[in-house]
Structures are given as structure tokens and as C-alpha cells.
């Protein structure tokens, strides 16, 4: 879903007319960059849910275990798509290539977007993983819900500062302030996970989640400031996680689950594929054309996940386990 939203790239490069018959869907695409903020909040919640307790008695092995798995998740496909951009104007400088290989291209070392443009957020996500033990230390000492909610409020306040720095309206910052944008969203998601860790799923969260989706969509169509829309993402993620009825059922159907599984590949491939089609003279100017191109991108993403993403992740984790066993045997 986040990857599909991000395809607002079409609008910035003369794609489908957002003022045509499909104005509602076009609005979703036009503000699609906010899908990245939804992703950061979702990522913070998921990572905290999966790893927070492991850092209660943190050790070097805990951190190494965590980082290897996160590295195996994001780096192989990032590098595979990066290779497609070598030689392009945005990926000719050695520093640009090195920054992308290390996943630090959006850490403030450059004054432009480099190589595969969407991968700036992968760089920021990598920073969030590296910093997660520090955030976990703070969250694990936030025993009361109000303390965790205070941390989430700090994250939301940070997004407010970003919109102010970006002329008071847009959160569309990448290589320049993207690191802060990611940190704020990730913090919101992780803090809400901590604050509601002992809350059981309930139908009330389904209702709240549906209302939040409607509110976010309405605000986006109305052209509301980004902060108002993005500010709903943390509560939306929380509602999705604690839903117990129709919302959970709708998001649990196999096609939706499958799209979530291929979303990382979809996100990293769409820029290259759309640019390639445009260079061949393909016009993506109608809803039908958008649909066909979307099918192409989803198909490539599925193949990418099957033949690049999954095998590489499995190989890296298996290699790390062999190294660990060898080190234990010699130790």
C-alpha cells in the first residue's frame, strides 16, 4: 500500500492528469509521498512489537542478531536496484555510489537525491534500526502509558517542526530533512506499541481505524496540511494492530497480505520501470494506462521478491549463523 501511494512520481513528471475523471484516486497518488510517513510509523510499531523485549537485557549478541536480520531485509534488494542506476547523472560520483552502498545517502552528506530516488527512505530506515537500541532503552523505562504517549507526542511535534521548516505545509522532504522525518515517524509507531502493549484487540479499534482512514482520505482530498494527515498515521497503525473485526479481516485477506509481502520490491522497482517506459515514449496519462503499468510493476516486484529478496536474505542469515557457530567453537 505504501509503495503504491508513493507512485505520485507520475504527477511530478507529467503523468496521469490528477484533475481528470479519477480525481479521488488521483488525489491519493498526488499526496502519495505521505505513504512514506505511514511506513515509518508502521515500521516503528512492528519493530518495537518484535524486538523491544529482547533489548530489556540487551547484550552485544542481541544487537548483532537484530542488525544482521535488518541488514538482510533491506540491503540486498537495495543494491540490486542500485546497480541499474550506475552511470545515470544522479549516480556517477563515487561518493554517491559509496553512500548508497553503505545506505547513508540520506544522512546529510549530499545536497541532492542520488541514484534510485525512493531509496532515500531506506537509508533513513537503516538509521532507525541502528538507533533502535537507544530508543528501546528509553521506551522500556516508560512504564506508564502517559510516558509512552509523551514520546509519541514528541515525534508528532518533530513532524510539526519539519513542516514549519518546509514553509509550513509539506512533509515532502527527502535527502535534506528525511532523516528527521523518519526518526519522528518511527518514534511515534514504537512509542504507541509500548504504550498499548497490554491492550487486547477489540472491535472498537476497527471502528476507530475505519473512521481514521475516512478522515485521512477526506483531509487529503481537501488539500489539508500534511501534518494533519500524517498525524493520523500513528493512531491508524495502532488501530490496525489491535483490530478484532472487519478491519482485521479486510487486511488479512490473501491478496492484501501478498501485496504487503511484495511492497518492498514494488517500492524499489517502480521508479526505474516508470522512467524506462517513459524513455520508450509510453504515455501514462489515463487511468487505464496507470492500471496497466501498475500490473507490470507488481509483476516485476513479485519476481524480484522470489528470486532476489528472499534468497539473499536467507543466505545472509545462514552465513551469519555459520560464522557465529564457528566463533563459538573456537572460543
pLDDT tops 90 at residue 105: yes
Is 329 inside any structural domain?
no
Is 331 inside any structural domain?
no
Is 100 inside any structural domain?
yes
Lowest mean pLDDT among 106-120, 127-141, 238-252: 106-120
pLDDT tops 60 at residue 10: no
Is 157 inside any structural domain?
yes
At 1 the pLDDT is 46
Is 124 inside any structural domain?
yes
At 74 the pLDDT is 97
Summarised one tens digit per residue, pLDDT across range 68-101 is: 999 999 999 999 999 999 888 888 888 899 999 9
By C-alpha distance, which of 12, 19, 11, 2 is closest to 290?
Answer: 11
- What is the average pLDDT across 124-132? 97
Lowest mean pLDDT among 78-82, 108-112, 154-158, 259-263: 108-112
- The residue range of the domain holding 208 is 2-323
What's the domain count of the chain? 1
Is 274 inside any structural domain?
yes
Is 111 inside any structural domain?
yes
At 279 the pLDDT is 85
pTM: 0.90
Summarised one tens digit per residue, pLDDT across range 232-288 is: 999 999 999 999 999 999 999 999 999 999 999 999 999 899 888 888 888 877 778
* Dist. CA 23–CA 40, nearest whole Å: 27
At 5 the pLDDT is 46
Give the HSE-up count for residue 56: Cα atoms under 13 Å, Cβ half-sphere.
Answer: 9
Summarised one tens digit per residue, pLDDT across range 33-73 is: 888 999 999 999 999 999 999 998 878 889 999 999 999 99
At 232 the pLDDT is 97
CA dist 37 to 91, 228, 231, 234, Å?
25, 12, 9, 9
At 21 the pLDDT is 45
Is 173 inside any structural domain?
yes
* Cβ-contact 271, 121 below 8 angstroms: no
At 331 the pLDDT is 61
pLDDT tops 50 at residue 4: no
Interior/surface letters 40-54, b for 16+ CB within 10 angstroms, e for the rest:
bbbbbbebbeebbee
* Cβ-contact 124, 108 below 8 angstroms: no
pLDDT tops 80 at residue 166: yes
Helix (H) or strand (E) holding 60: helix 60-82
Summarised one tens digit per residue, pLDDT across range 277-319 is: 888 888 877 778 878 888 999 999 999 999 999 999 999 999 9
Amino acid at each position: 500500500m505504501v509503495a503504491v501511494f508513493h507512485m505520485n512520481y507520475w504527477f511530478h513528471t507529467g503523468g496521469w492528469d490528477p484533475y481528470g475523471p479519477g480525481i479521488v484516486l488521483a488525489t491519493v497518488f498526488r499526496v502519495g509521498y505521505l505513504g512514506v510517513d505511514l511506513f515509518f510509523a508502521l515500521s516503528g510499531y512492528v519493530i518495537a512489537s518484535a524486538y523491544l523485549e529482547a533489548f530489556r537485557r540487551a547484550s552485544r549478541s542481541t544487537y548483532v542478531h537484530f542488525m544482521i536480520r535488518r541488514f538482510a531485509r533491506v540491503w540486498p534488494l537495495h543494491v540490486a536496484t542500485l546497480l541499474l542506476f550506475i552511470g545515470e547523472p544522479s549516480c556517477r560520483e563515487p561518493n554517491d555510489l559509496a553512500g548508497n552502498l553503505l545506505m547513508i545517502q540520506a544522512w546529510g552528506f549530499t545536497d541532492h537525491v542520488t541514484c534510485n530516488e525512493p531509496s532515500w527512505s531506506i537509508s533513513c530506515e537503516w538509521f532507525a534500526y541502528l538507533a533502535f537500541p537507544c530508543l528501546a532503552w528509553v521506551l522500556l523505562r516508560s512504564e506508564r502509558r502517559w510516558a509512552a504517549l509523551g514520546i509519541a507526542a514528541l515525534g508528532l511535534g518533530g513532524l510539526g517542526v519539519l513542516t514549519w521548516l518546509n514553509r509550513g505545509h509539506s512533509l515532502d522532504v527527502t535527502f535534506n530533512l528525511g532523516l528527521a522525518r523518519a526518526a519522528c515517524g518511527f518514534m511515534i509507531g514504537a512509542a504507541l506499541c509500548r504504550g498499548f502493549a497490554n491492550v487486547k484487540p477489540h472491535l472498537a479499534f476497527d471502528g476507530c481505524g475505519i473512521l481514521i482512514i475516512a478522515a485521512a482520505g477526506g483531509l487529503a482530498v481537501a488539500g489539508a496540511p500534511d501534518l494533519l494527515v500524517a498525524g493520523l498515521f500513528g493512531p491508524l497503525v495502532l488501530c490496525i494492530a489491535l483490530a478484532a473485526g472487519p478491519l482485521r479481516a479486510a487486511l488479512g485477506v490473501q491478496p492484501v497480505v501478498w501485496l504487503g509481502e511484495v511492497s518492498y520490491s514494488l517500492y524499489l522497482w517502480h521508479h526505474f520501470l516508470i522512467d524506462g517506459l517513459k524513455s520508450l515514449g509510453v504515455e501514462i496519462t489515463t487511468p487505464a494506462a496507470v492500471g496497466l503499468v501498475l500490473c507490470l510493476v507488481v509483476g516485476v516486484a513479485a519476481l524480484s521478491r522470489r528470486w532476489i529478496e528472499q534468497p539473499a536474505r536467507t543466505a545472509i542469515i545462514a552465513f551469519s549463523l555459520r560464522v557465529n557457530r564457528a566463533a563459538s567453537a573456537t572460543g
